[in-house]
């Protein structure tokens, strides 16, 4: 495949076509780790919801209040006059979430669980298996991150495409407006908003979800007691872990929408073969950037 | 060349289609992972060995679990698992009715001298009191004050033989019942956890004698591990070189039901 693609790069040397040149955009390390994360995050999410279901409540502090209330989220089924209903309480606000949270599975086979069967691995209640799956893919996530960090530091991807520079921050408002008007640039380099999104994932969300995950380990709390102080207790860490999960799901949704809007085949190709069909403006960019 | 591009497009399309069908079809196609002997599950379980090795390398053998202030005890210790073996174990019922005066903790197996300790003898040994956080595998935590005899001091009296690698904690309570046959609860630990300064044979909880629901008369506290490692109602500690012959051979009741043995995460 590589040799075919290289053959295709020749138009780049010729006059600019309406389509723009085919450029080598993603290194093998970026592509490999991208798909490892896609796989790992899929299993981490669904096994994580399985683990959450073993105790579908989140708290603030070191411990879980049973004789007092320090919960910020709770999924609980209750008996209502017309039969059982599922309720989700967030910061004291109670919502009827029958069919989705706390009670799902329909009237024929009601299931009293936090997240519904289709959102967990395995689909039935099985904390032990959820933990086996979760910890395996946690190692994959962290291993891929280590490979990516070393490679991206060496090949410049980190500095070029992910680290936000003052120039990017200045251009950010205009880029946000451009995105809101569905005007995307298709150059070699990432747009400021794109950089900001990946910067947020690599420097905020990934470190947070890994460190809050470790804070839930009593073994790691003995090794690194500062984890408990950093996050304000094991139960707060568990709550942050959950919130970061939700933010990663949000990132995934936006990521998929952007891929579809920007040209799904071209975007998928660049993440599989590394080659990306740039827009006509890319020619200019490549020359000005030298 | 056009063919090649088409092929590649088709490949990418196929990949996208199969990925989306994976998501749309729901997750019961991964239910096979719940089968305890599935080879894929066995492979995934090997990550637990990596976690154990990594934590033993990263966590100092003497590193302490966080200890809390009295003011952070805000509720009673939440009982979980079996909370009353009196209905299923006549020997335990008799001991409890006698105020555990007849209770003896036995140290057996790979020791120079097998030993028995009454509750009074354990109470007369130097004690350790610690306010720690109990982390249940389900996800909740509870802070309580535990008082007991350091396990290391008890083991020193029996003197471990060379070849000793693990301790197996045998308990009065059983789990299961109903459709499945009741299984005696047991647990095990390595010697690092056994000799850890915070590992105690707890007989006191929040300044009182340990109640039945929390494991009277004696439960193990291994503070750097999850709740299911804190065996309750312990009557015998057996020093072994392998726990393969106990239960289903995984090192504990919950381990035999698919949970990881180390329990430090």
Q: Rounded to whole angstroms, how far apart are CA atoms B97 and A136? A: 47
User: CB-CB: which of A4, A55, A66 is closest to B4?
Assistant: A4
Are A89 and A124 part of one and the same domain? Answer: no
H or E stretch at A85: strand A83-90
Are A213 and A259 part of one and the same domain? Answer: yes
Residue B30 has pLDDT above 70, yes or no: yes
Say how many C-beta atoms besides its own lie within 10 A of residue A82's C-beta: 6
Are A70 and A129 part of one and the same domain? Answer: no
CATH of the domain at B127: 3.90.420.10
Tell me whether residues B59 and A219 touch, CB distance under 8 A.
yes
Q: Which domain holds residue A73?
A: 57-114
Which residue reads 């989220």 in tokens? Answer: A73
Query: Please, what is the angle between helix A127-155 and helix A206-215, to 10°?
Result: 140
Residue B20 falls inside a structural domain: no
Please report which confidence band the pLDDT of residue A281 belongs to, taking 50, 70 and 90 as the band edges. low
Return mean pLDDT, chain B. Answer: 92
Q: Rounded to whole angstroms, how far apart are CA atoms A125 and A117? A: 8
Residue A6 has pLDDT above 80, yes or no: no
Domain termination residue (choose one: A92, A114, A136): A114
User: CB-CB: which of B33, B141, B226 is closest to A64?
Assistant: B141
Torsion of CA B64, B65, B70, B71, to 10 degrees: 130
The ipTM estimated for the assembled molecules is 0.90
Total tally of structural domains belonging to chain B? 1
pLDDT confidence of residue A189? 81
Chain B hits for A222, Cβ within 8 Å: 59-60, 63-66, 223-224
Are A49 and A67 part of one and the same domain? Answer: no
Interface test with B, best of A132, A238, A253 (most B CBs within 10 A): A132
Q: Tens digit of pLDDT for each residue in B172-190?
A: 999 987 777 899 999 999 9
In chain A, the percentage of residues whose pLDDT exceeds 70 is 90
Are A203 and A83 part of one and the same domain? Answer: no
φ, ψ at A80 (rounded to 5°)? -100, 165
Total tally of structural domains belonging to chain A? 2
Q: Tens digit of pLDDT for each residue in B38-93?
A: 999 999 999 999 999 999 999 999 999 999 999 999 999 999 999 999 999 999 99
Are A31 and A167 part of one and the same domain? Answer: yes
Q: Which domain holds residue B139?
A: 32-256
Domain termination residue (choose one: A91, A114, A137): A114
Residue B7 falls inside a structural domain: no
Are A132 and A67 part of one and the same domain? Answer: no
Q: Which of A43-47, A109-113, A277-281 is predicted with the least confidence, judged by mean pLDDT?
A: A277-281
Nearest one of A263, A226, A247, A262 to A45, comparing CA atoms: A247
> Structure tokens of B92?
């335990």
Are A230 and A243 part of one and the same domain? Answer: yes
Q: Tens digit of pLDDT for each residue in A31-43?
A: 999 999 999 999 9
Are A128 and A262 part of one and the same domain? Answer: yes
What are the DSSP E strand ranges found in chain B? 104-109, 115-118, 128-135, 141-150, 166-177, 180-190, 200-205, 208-209, 219-221, 234-240
Are A70 and A11 part of one and the same domain? Answer: no
H or E stretch at A88: strand A83-90
A221 Cα distance to chain centroid: 25
Q: Rounded to whole angstroms, how far apart are CA atoms A254 and A158? A: 21
Could you tell me which residues come within 8 angstroms of residue A166 by beta carbon, excluding any fewer than 6 positions away?
Answer: none
Residue B231 has pLDDT above 70, yes or no: yes
Residue A7 has pLDDT above 50, yes or no: no
Contact status of B40 with chain A (Cβ, < 8 Å): no
Are A65 and A143 part of one and the same domain? Answer: no
CATH of the domain at A138: 1.20.950.20
H or E stretch at A257: helix A234-262
Tell me whether residues B44 and A46 touch, CB distance under 8 A.
no
Residue B4 falls inside a structural domain: no
Are A51 and A61 part of one and the same domain? Answer: no
Residue B128 falls inside a structural domain: yes
Nearest one of B167, B176, B164, B139 to B253, comparing CA atoms: B176
Q: Are B12 and A265 in contact (CB under 8 A)?
A: yes
Q: Which of A239-253, B166-180, B232-246 is predicted with the least confidence, judged by mean pLDDT?
A: B166-180
φ, ψ at B227 (rounded to 5°)? -55, -35
Q: Which of A132-146, A224-238, A268-282, B218-232 is predicted with the least confidence, judged by mean pLDDT?
A: A268-282
**Three-state SS for B172?**
strand
Residue B39 falls inside a structural domain: yes
Residue B264 falls inside a structural domain: no
Chain A hits for B72, Cβ within 8 Å: 62-63
């Amino acid at each position: 495949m590589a040799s075919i693609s290289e053959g295709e790069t020749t138009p780049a040397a010729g006059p600019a076509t309406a389509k723009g040149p085919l450029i080598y955009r993603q290194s093998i390390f970026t592509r490999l780790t991208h798909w490892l994360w896609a796989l790992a995050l899929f299993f981490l999410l669904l096994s994580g919801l399985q683990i959450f279901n073993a105790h579908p409540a989140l708290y603030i502090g070191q411990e879980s209040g049973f004789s007092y209330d320090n919960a910020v989220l709770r999924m609980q089924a209750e008996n209502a006059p017309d039969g059982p209903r599922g309720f989700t309480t967030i910061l004291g606000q109670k919502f009827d979430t029958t069919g989705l949270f706390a009670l799902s599975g329909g009237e024929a086979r009601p299931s009293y669980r936090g997240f519904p069967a289709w959102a967990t691995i395995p689909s039935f209640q099985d904390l032990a298996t959820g933990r086996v799956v979760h910890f395996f893919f946690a190692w994959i996530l962290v291993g891929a991150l280590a490979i990516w960090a070393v490679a991206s530091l060496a090949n410049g991807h980190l500095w070029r495409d992910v680290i936000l520079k003052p120039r990017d921050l200045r251009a950010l408002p205009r880029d946000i407006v451009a995105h809101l008007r569905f005007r995307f640039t298709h150059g070699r380099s990432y747009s400021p908003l794109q950089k900001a999104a990946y910067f947020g994932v690599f420097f905020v969300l990934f470190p947070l979800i890994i460190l809050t995950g470790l804070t839930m380990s009593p073994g790691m709390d003995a090794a690194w007691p500062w984890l408990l102080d950093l996050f304000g207790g094991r139960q707060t860490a568990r709550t942050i872990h959950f919130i970061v999960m939700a933010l990663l799901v949000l990132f995934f949704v936006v990521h998929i929408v952007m891929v579809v809007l920007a040209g799904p085949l071209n975007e998928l190709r660049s993440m599989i073969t590394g080659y990306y069909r740039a827009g006509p403006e890319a020619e200019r960019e490549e020359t000005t950037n030298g | 060349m056009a063919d090649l591009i088409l092929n590649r497009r088709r490949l990418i399309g196929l990949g996208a289609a199969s990925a989306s069908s994976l998501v749309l079809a729901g997750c019961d196609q991964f239910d096979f992972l719940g089968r305890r002997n599935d080879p894929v599950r066995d492979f995934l379980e090997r990550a637990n060995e990596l976690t154990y090795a990594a934590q033993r390398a990263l966590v100092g053998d003497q590193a302490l679990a966080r200890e809390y202030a009295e003011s952070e005890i805000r509720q009673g210790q939440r009982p979980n698992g079996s909370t009353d073996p009196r209905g299923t174990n006549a020997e335990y019922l008799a001991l409890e009715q006698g105020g555990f005066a007849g209770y003896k903790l036995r140290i057996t197996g790979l020791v120079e001298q097998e030993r028995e300790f009454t509750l009074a003898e354990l109470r007369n040994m130097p004690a350790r009191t610690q306010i720690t956080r109990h982390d249940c595998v389900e996800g909740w935590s509870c802070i309580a004050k535990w008082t007991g005899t350091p396990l290391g001091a008890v083991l020193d009296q029996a003197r471990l033989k060379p070849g000793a690698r693990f301790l197996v904690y045998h308990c009065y309570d059983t789990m299961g019942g109903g459709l499945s046959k009741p299984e005696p609860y047991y647990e095990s630990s390595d010697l690092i956890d056994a000799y850890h300064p915070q590992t105690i044979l707890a007989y006191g909880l929040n300044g009182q004698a340990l109640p039945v629901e929390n494991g009277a008369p004696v439960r193990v506290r291994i503070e750097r591990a999850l709740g299911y490692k804190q065996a309750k109602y312990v009557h015998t500690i057996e020093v072994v070189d392998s726990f393969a012959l106990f239960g289903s051979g995984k090192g504990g009741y919950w381990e035999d039901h698919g949970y990881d043995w180390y329990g430090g995460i």
